[in-house]
Structure formats: C-alpha cells, structure tokens
C-alpha cells in the first residue's frame, strides 16, 4: 500500500503521515523534511530556499524525482509532500489536508518559534512561491484537488481522528 499525504504548510501533513506510518509500520518519506534539510545545509531559511528554487529547478526536481522513484520501487510507504499526490501516480490512497490560514499560522508559529503574524506572512509568501514553481515546472495548479481520493480538514479533527478516518478508507481498499 502506498499512501500520499499532501496539503498546505501547517495543515498537519507531517503529523498525519507520521501517525499513519507508525500505525501501519510503513516507511515515511517527507518532502518537507528534505526541503528543510537542504535549506539548513545551504545556511538558508525555507523562504530563502524557496525563492532560490524559483530560479533553480534542480532543488524541486531532486525532491520530487526521489519521491517518485522510491514509490515506484517500494511498497508500504507513506509519502508526505505538497506534490506527493501528483508525483506518486501509483499511490493507493491520496489524501489532501486543509485548514484555514489562521489555524495553520498558529501551528507554524508554535513549531517554528515565531509570532503568528510572522508565521502568516512567511506562509503566504511560501505558498505563492510554491504555486508559481509548481505551475512553471510541472504545469500543476496546486489548488486542483482532482488527483486526491480524500480531502479532510485538520482544523476540525485531531491527528488521531484524521488517522481513524484514513484507516477506515484503507480498510475498504484492502477488501
């Protein structure tokens, strides 16, 4: 089984992916972790690396191609990333998480140790940057949810509750 978890920054994709990975004993591949690691290695924050990635497709290509290759060769994976639902064509279940910007900014502020206003501004810039890159590089409109099997609000439910919803869907797929 291959499960992708995608959504905007702060929507809880990493939390849900970790939860599912632990629940099923599946390997987890996280595009966000790879992106943050690249930013750290280059001495940049993620906004600066995102801006660099607008003119250097190799950054996104590295992450996206790696996800695709891993998913083609292996099974029992949870693949988390903004484009995972688009890139992992052979996924059995593709999930999109969403939440209002105000909710996501609170989460990001807590996670990154910044105030909510800063988190909201950085997230807005990041989302615009990513949207441009995905459109320019792949002709993907990130607001098009047509590849996804489930779209869920993480504002409404906890990670565990979202996990239960997904586990119900997985149980039907396994029948």
- The Cα–Cα gap between 144 and 98 comes to 13
- Minimal CA–CA distance to 150: which of 71, 76, 97, 103? 97
pLDDT in tens, 135-168: 998 999 999 999 999 999 999 999 999 999 999 9
**Both tokens assigned to 172:** 């039907």
Three-class HEC string of 26-51:
CEEEEHHHHHHHHHHHCCCCHHHHHH
The tens-digit pLDDT sequence of the chain (175 residues) is: 999 999 999 999 999 999 999 999 999 988 877 777 788 888 998 888 888 887 888 887 877 777 788 888 889 999 999 999 998 989 999 999 999 999 999 999 999 999 999 999 999 998 998 899 899 989 999 999 999 999 999 999 999 999 999 999 999 998 8
Which residue do the tokens 């939440």 mark? 99
pTM of the predicted protein model: 0.86
Residue 91 confidence (pLDDT): 95
Residue 131 confidence (pLDDT): 93
Whether 114 contacts 123, CB under 8 Å: no
Whether 79 contacts 71, CB under 8 Å: yes
CA angle at 19 for the pair 112 and 80, rounded to the nearest 5°: 65
- Domains defined for the chain, CATH in brackets: 2-173 (3.40.50.300)
Phi, psi of 83, rounded to the nearest 5 degrees: -105, 10
């Amino acid at each position: 089984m291959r499960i992708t978890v995608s959504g905007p920054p702060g929507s809880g994709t990493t939390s849900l992916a970790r939860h599912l990975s632990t629940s099923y004993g599946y390997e987890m591949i996280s595009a966000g972790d790879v992106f943050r690691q690249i930013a750290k290695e280059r001495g940049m924050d993620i906004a600066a690396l995102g801006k660099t990635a607008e003119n250097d497709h190799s950054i996104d290509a590295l992450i996206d191609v790696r996800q695709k290759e891993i998913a083609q060769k292996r099974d029992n994976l949870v693949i988390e990333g903004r484009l995972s639902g688009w890139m992992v064509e052979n996924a059995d279940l593709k999930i999109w998480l969403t939440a209002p910007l105000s909710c996501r900014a609170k989460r990001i502020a807590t996670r990154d140790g910044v105030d909510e206003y800063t988190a909201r501004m950085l997230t807005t810039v990041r989302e615009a940057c990513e949207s441009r890159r995905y459109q320019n590089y792949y002709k993907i409109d990130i607001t098009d949810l047509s590849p996804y099997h489930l779209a869920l609000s993480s504002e409404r439910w906890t990670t565990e509750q979202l996990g239960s919803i997904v586990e119900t869907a997985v149980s039907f797929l396994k029948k």
